[in-house]
Structure 1
Amino acid sequence: MATHTTNYRATFIEVAEDCPTDHATEPPAGDPPTIAALQYRLIAEEPYAHTSDDVVFAVHALRRGMDPDDSAAREEFFSKGQPCLRSSPLGKRYGWGILSDEQGRVALVARESQTYAALAADPALGHTRAMRSRRAPR
């Protein structure tokens, strides 16, 4: 069975062009927790501990009452393509850049920080943006 991945390596996912905030904010927790809140908690509490695949599958599993450590369910989940963290509300709505290190492990970077500005200008990193929430005007 072919496996797909959402992982980036040595890449900075910058905030979407149409992100409505000029500073990073923690997503509201909600009950049940939103995708944004779960992603935020997983990444913010343990920066560089999880890959994008880890985060994407854990959120999927938690929202469906599954065990995030179920390797068979994870293999089945990634047997087809899944949206990567470019589609995350963290970069689209809440003002967080997402940095993937050389091993694909991720950390959050607040868009108003000096670290964000330095990473956005770093030619040694791959660069992409979070997906826009709306279509670009024609």
Structure 2
Amino acid sequence: MHSTNYRRTLITVASDTRAQKGTEPPHGKGSIAERQYVLLHNREYQLTSDELIFTVYADRQGIPAQERGRALKEYYAQGRACLRSSPLAKSYGWGFHFDDDGLLALVPVDSQRYAELIEDDSVTKLPAMRSKRA
């Protein structure tokens, strides 16, 4: 089974983002950004990346709760894009911090916590994918 989980890692905002601070994505559209934000905001270190990505996928596909165990195995039977491709990190100014157990939290780019994580040599830094080609 493939995985998108990281440990002791910060996915930094994309180098080409225009976001100067962590902003909430627009509500009511059911976008991936909105769904990820709702699942993570004020719920620090409760989900893994695999859980977040699959939950958003399953919700958007309307997969019933009783079928999600099987669907999860099928979903991760092949490689999937990780949170480096998330619109939250590409467009809305949010980094993703993964703790020692692989649980994640949103970290706004304009926060003291983000600055501390950037300076922490024990934390691996991975940039979010750019929105445009160089």
Equivalent residue number for residue 37 of structure 2: 40
Equivalent residue number for residue 117 of structure 1: 115
Whether 2:32 is the aligned partner of 1:53: answer no
Equivalent residue number for residue 101 of structure 2: 103
Shift of 1:67: 3.1
Unaligned runs of 5+ in 1: none
C-alpha distance in structure 1 between counterparts of 2:90 and 2:65, whole Å = 25
Letter in 2 for 1:126: T
TM-score by length of 2: 0.96
Per-residue CA deviations over 1:51-88 (Å, capped at 9, x if unaligned) read 00000000000001113561110000000001000000
Match of 1:80 among 78, 101, 119: 78
Unaligned runs of 5+ in 2: none
C-alpha distance in structure 2 between counterparts of 1:13 and 1:68, whole Å = 30
The CA RMSD measured in Å over matched residues stands at 1.1
Q: Secondary structure at the match of 2:80?
A: coil
TM-score by length of 1: 0.93
Aligned length: 133
Q: Secondary structure at the match of 2:41?
A: helix
Shift of 1:20: 1.1
Percent identity of the aligned residues?
A: 46
Equivalent residue number for residue 9 of structure 1: 7
Pick closer, same or farther for the CA change 1:68–1:15 going to 2, 3 Å: farther
Q: Secondary structure at the match of 2:125?
A: strand
Match of 2:18 among 9, 13, 20: 20
Pick closer, same or farther for the CA change 1:109–1:68 going to 2, 3 Å: farther
Whether 2:64 is the aligned partner of 1:67: answer yes
Pick closer, same or farther for the CA change 1:68–1:83 going to 2, 3 Å: farther
Asked if the contact 1:22–1:95 (Cα under 8 Å) also holds between the matched residues in 2, the reply is yes
